[in-house]
Structure 1
Amino acid sequence: MNTFVVLVYIAVYLSMLLGGIPGLRVDRTGAALLGAILLLAGRGISEEQALTAIDVPTLALLFGLMVVSAQFQLGGFYGYVMQRVVMYDMPPTTLLAAVIALTGALSAILTNDVVCLAVAPLLSRLCLNKHLNPVPFLLALACAANIGSAATLIGNPQNILIGESLQLSFNRYLLVATPPCLAGLALVWWIIVKVYRDQWMIEPGEGTTEDDRPFDRWQTLKGAVILFLLIVCFMFAPWPRELLALSAAGVLLLSRTFYSRNVMGLVDWPLLVLFISLFIVNQAFQLAGGMDWLMSHARSAGISLDEPMPLFLGTAVLSNLVSNVPAIMLLLPVVEGDSMGALLALSSTLAGNFIIVGSVANIIVVEAARQVGIKISFRTHAKVGIPVTLTSLLVAGGWLWLVT
């Protein structure tokens, strides 16, 4: 094997584990990009091989869906819906169920990170204004966003990658993933109710400002129609999903209301760069024979990633160590078939609720809470996140064992 390539690969994935490069303001995306640059500059991979490694359809699909999600964010849809739900007079446990159901449904079609980014700040303010303890509702938001996003192949970045790489059927995956995800959402409600049964209200304090993005009914309707048609095409049309998503994005960009730069400003460019960089790093490692070496040593140790159970558990553990997108990129070269694709998607996504850094959605919610003076510590999150993860993984594992 090429020692230089192996060292760069180890350094990149170690930075995934640490959240970046210690001592420097370089996050996971920056570390992956530096790794790709080093490999290209050091001839660990050629320019042609690097270009071939980049999965353009996956990037195109992800970009198109980000533009669709931006339409709803700019139209004030998230704020309008959440305000209507939270301000309605209902018991806290019923409101919790409504937040979980709404978050899960939105995350399945608009990606979980975008939903959390748009909803978390507003949900925090609305709970404080209503003298509700915001912590259980914010934990519900993060957990439900992760679980709901696992229900479709467009709910989160790792599912998009899995669906495109393994050419999974949108409808078949939906049928397999929906039951355990619905059960997982119910578990989120039950666990949070048990943990916070006497802690729903807080002392009245100073109110906070409302969301300053007005609700635009026409722009929201426009986005809803495009999204509906897009999902119908995903389910029944024979055309490539990435072309459908790009077409939807193109229609939405033809706007007399929103400047293109405002829409583009809501696209998660660092995530796209992370994908591109890891495509190159993983390809270099694979060409150097590193993946074959890892698989042979795993088999020697009695770990066969060709088997469902070791792959399911390994994916869950690895997703918490290096985050779910890098974990999936590491495992995809050794996975084949529809059933293994569903296993990867469910395990990597549901495992994201275990600790705060297990998913970007968790980090977004915790950071949004911090900005309005709400502290969600690792211990606070773990009291809900750990039981939610273990029970939802158990349900999903049992379901997959029955249907595959």
Structure 2
Amino acid sequence: MVGIWKKFLHEITGHALFSISLTAAVVTSFFNIPRWGYIDVKVLVCLFELMLIVKALEEYGLLGHVAVKIVNCCKNERRLTAALCVITFLLSMFTTNDVAVLTIVPILVAISRTCGLSVTFPCVLTTIAANLGSSATPIGNPQNLYIFSFYKMSPVSFFRESVPLCLVSLLLLMASTLFIRPKKIRAELSIAPVTEKKRVAAFLLLSVPVIVGIFGLIPYAITFVFVLLAAIIINRSMLRKLDYRLLLTFLLLFVAVGNISHIPVLKEQIAALETTPLKTYVSALFLSQIISNVPSTVMLAPFTVYAYALFYGANIGGLGTPIASLASVIAFSLFYQVFPHKKLQFIGTFLLCNVIMLFVLSVVFASVLVQV
């Protein structure tokens, strides 16, 4: 009984974002009775579908196979880091920043063990690449999916905001790699084969109705039934491997935000922070540093009409502190497992790079908002 209780507590407290959302939902429910209407079912369904597709591509080795193949073409540390940043940047657009980090950081660690590559700075840069690259598409990260759904944005209006941020971010990342010496690399990673190629092809085809459903061209209820039945036929065991805690986290966040929006004092306080694009932007930037950018997005969206300001604030706000984005927490965990003696070095490098990048991007896009 004691062992079960300890495991239960570990599951609750071992995931920062889940702990925050659970606490917020429970506390706010004392002041307001939750309602089913608070829950954005479309976001939960679309998130489930994306998680399923990405998990399949990850499990069958497609993501790692492609990444290693590209990395083996690099002959020095600077080119390698630049290649990893670009791969991570592009990968995160379609598989989320978390999956990009989970795919690339282990490859980086393997290279470090093989040829003695100094791994700290490249690991930090690839983490930043994951957080910024994911801002490019509605499916790149959970907060974009929520913003796209909540404000009923068209693809054109979304990409009009995301492309400038994407281009400036990539330029800054490539400039950052110039600080790495072009030291030669004499090592090559073995390329693991892609398993179950027919199933990989099936899941890739399955991603088409998922993306079409996210853009609202097909009702999400229809795509959900289709994807679920297809997954059961192709490989039902994949359904057991999904991180359902993430879905529960979102559900709890919807409950907490719904409660807050019906508590007059809190509603007035938050609404006062969202009266202009710049205030919305700064609120998202600041709040992301404390509770991460996903819950801050869900919390602020009902109180502001400035979708573009919230988009910039939440995505740029993923930089800064390690808890500003879940992908950063994952990167640190992966790094610490292999290099525990370099923990302080990683944190110092992470904060320095993130603060500089956060400052530059926040100033650039604050000036854009002022001119609007």
User: Of residues 150, 157, 166 in structure 1, which corresponds to 2:135?
Assistant: 150
**What residue is the counterpart of 1:12 in the other structure?**
none
Is the Cα–Cα contact under 8 Å of residues 68 and 227 in structure 1 kept in the other structure?
Answer: yes
Equivalent residue, structure 2, for 1:314: 283
Q: Which range moves more in the overlay, 88-97 or 74-83? A: 88-97
Counterpart for residue 21 of structure 2? 32
Change over 3 Å in CA distance of 1:218–1:88 after alignment to 2: farther
**TM-score if structure 1 supplies the norm length?**
0.78
In structure 2, the CA distance between the partners of 1:400 and 1:104, relative to structure 1 (3 Å rule), is: farther
Q: Please, which of 61, 78, 88 is the counterpart of residue 103 of structure 1? A: 88
C-alpha distance in structure 2 between counterparts of 1:92 and 1:283, whole Å: 49
Decide whether the 8 Å contact of 1:86 with 1:127 is kept in 2: no
Q: Deviations over 1:295-333 (max 9, x none)?
A: 47x4xxxxx522111221221111111111221122112
- Equivalent residues, number: 359
Query: In the alignment, which residue of structure 1 is the partner of 2:199?
Result: 219
Alignment TM-score, normalising by the size of structure 2: 0.84
1:386 matched residue in structure 2: 355
Q: How does 1:208-287 map to 2 (within 5 A)?
A: 214-228=194-208, 230-231=210-211, 234=214, 238-240=217-219, 242-243=220-221, 246=224, 249-250=227-228, 252-256=230-234, 258=235, 260-265=236-241, 267-287=242-262
Does structure 1 retain, via aligned residues, the 8 Å contact 2:112–2:118? yes
What CA distance in whole angstroms lies between the structure 1 residues aligned with 2:254 and 2:348?
34
Inter-CA distance 136–244: structure 2 relative to 1 (3 Å threshold): farther
Aligned to 2:165: 180
Q: Secondary structure, in 3 states, of the residue corresponding to 1:177?
A: helix
1:345 aligns with 2:330: no
- Judge conservation of contact 2:76–2:184 (CA < 8 Å) in 1: no
Deviation per residue, 1:142-174 (Å, 9 max, x gap): 111111111111111111111111111123211
Matching residue of 1:14 = none
Q: Aligned pair in 2 of structure 1 residues 171, 355: CA closer, same or farther (>3 Å)?
A: same
Is the CA contact 1:313–1:347 (under 8 Å) kept in the aligned structure 2?
Answer: yes
Matched, 1:64 2:49: yes
1:25-55, Cα deviation, whole Å (9 max, x unpaired) = 6744135325534655x5x433xx4322111
- Out of 95, 113, 121, the position equivalent to 2:98 is 113
Gaps in structure 2 of 5+ consecutive residues: 1-8
Q: Kindly provide the CA deviation profile for residues 340-392 of structure 1, in whole angstroms up to 9, marking residues without a partner as x.
A: 21221222122212122211111111111122226353211122111122222
SS in 2 for 1:353: coil
| Corresponding position of 1:367 | 333
- Contact between 2:95 and 2:140, CA under 8 Å: does it hold in 1? yes
Shift of 1:217: 3.4
- Contact persistence 2:72–2:189 (CA under 8 A): no
The verdict on how the C-alpha distance between 1:29 and 1:295 changes in structure 2, with shifts beyond 3 A counting, is closer
Structure 1 vs Structure 2: percent identity of aligned residues?
Answer: 22
Residues 115, 175 of structure 1: alpha-carbon distance in 2 compared, 3 angstrom cutoff: same
Q: How far does residue 249 in structure 1 lie from its aligned partner after superposition?
A: 3.4
1:93/1:209 Cα in 2 relative to 1: closer, same or farther (>3 Å)? closer
CA distance in 2, matches of 1:238, 1:156: 20
| 8 Å Cα contact 2:39-2:251 kept in structure 1 | yes
Q: Distance in 1 between matches of 2:190 and 2:335?
A: 15
Match 1:81 to one of 45, 66, 72: 66
* Closer, same or farther: CA 127–225 of 1 in aligned 2, 3 Å: farther
The 1-side partners of 2:282 and 2:56 are apart by 37
Please point out which of 323, 331, 347 is paired with 1:357. 323
Q: Quick check: 2:71–2:80 contact (8 Å CA) kept in 1? A: yes
CA apart distance, 1:396: 3.3
Residue identity opposite 2:81 in structure 1: L
Moved more, 92-101 or 140-149: 92-101
Offset, 1:209: 9.7
* Mapped partners of 1:148, 1:293: distance in 2: 34
Instruction: Check whether the contact 1:112–1:149 (CA below 8 A) recurs between aligned residues.
Output: yes
